[in-house]
Amino acid sequence: MRQIVLDTETTGINPKLGNRILEIGCVELNNRMLTGNNLHFYINPERDSEEGALNVHGLTTEFLSDKPKFHEIVDQLREYVRGAEVIIHNAPFDLGFLNHEFKLLNLPDFTEHIGGVIDTLVQAKELHPGKRNSLDALCDRYGISNSHRKLHGALLDAELLADVYLAMTRGQNTLGMDVEEEVVNIGELLEPVAMADIIFVPASEEELAAHAETLAGLDKAVKGQCIWTASLNPPAPPAA
């Protein structure tokens, strides 16, 4: 399966107010493997960035003045993403801008060129309800280094998101063994034990405190909840 992890930087937060895309970064995955066939554009948005956006990405009007305009890169972008499943963090934001840019050029929406969308923010909220699920928070949670990320950059963020997506969706679907398993009845291996011989000794307050301290240390080590803590405090089911 071909997937494209995509991120954009923009001049502001609302395309309906005339804000434009000024950077696009794409990272290709094929069967969950990074291929190195990435795509990156700086784009002249033909306007200044709003102060808040400029503080996020640091891409000045002067720097972007000699970069291609969106209509000059759109065909290459369309061909690159065609038919792929696109992975975006907070997809409505980026898709809103991309669809707006395509509409300005009288082209079908960006979403009509691709094979589907995965929103990793939605996935993260389902996996980690009640926790921070920004890209930085997810990098921290999954042990992905983002120390080199001083400002937002579309290609850098797409590369980080690719690592986060692979970590967040990692799972073992099969043991990869076709040998016949021998079914063993554990009860046949154990000596019968009379219930009267079982003695229950409750843990002391000191033992309970030591246990809680150990779990807290494990939670801190994994920067979240260890498996034992998570099993004791399962997340609430999502609202219907």
User: pLDDT value at position 40?
Assistant: 98
In a domain, 177, yes or no: no
Residues 80 and 164 in one domain: yes
Question: What is the residue-averaged pLDDT of the chain?
Answer: 84
Concatenated DSSP letters of 42-62: E---SSPPPHHHHHHH---HH
Encoded tokens for 235: 């997340």
Residue 87: which domain range?
Answer: 2-168
Predicted confidence (pLDDT) at residue 64 exceeds the cutoff of 60: yes
In a domain, 181, yes or no: no
Residues 32 and 109 in one domain: yes
Domains identified in the chain, total number: 2
Predicted confidence (pLDDT) at residue 83 exceeds the cutoff of 50: yes
Of 168, 186, 217, the position where a domain reaches its end is 168
Q: Yes or no: say if 30 and 2 are a contact pair by the CB < 8 Å rule.
A: yes
Residues 8 and 91 in one domain: yes
In a domain, 71, yes or no: yes
User: pLDDT value at position 86?
Assistant: 98
User: pLDDT value at position 206?
Assistant: 75
Residues 118 and 209 in one domain: no
Q: Which long-range contacts (CB under 8 A, 24 or more apart) does 130-135 make?
A: 130/235, 131/224, 135/89, 135/160, 135/161, 135/164
Predicted confidence (pLDDT) at residue 192 exceeds the cutoff of 60: no
Q: For residue 144, count other CB atoms closer than 10 A to its CB.
A: 18
Which is more confident, 203 or 11?
11
Residues 9 and 91 in one domain: yes
In a domain, 188, yes or no: no
Residues 95 and 52 in one domain: yes
At residue 239 the predicted structure's pLDDT band, cuts being 50, 70 and 90, is: low
Mean pLDDT of the 195-204 span: 63
User: pLDDT value at position 234?
Assistant: 61
Residues 107 and 219 in one domain: no
Catalytic residues: 152
Mean pLDDT of the 183-194 span: 44
User: pLDDT value at position 183?
Assistant: 42
CATH number, domain with residue 77: 3.30.420.10
In a domain, 209, yes or no: yes
Residues 164 and 211 in one domain: no
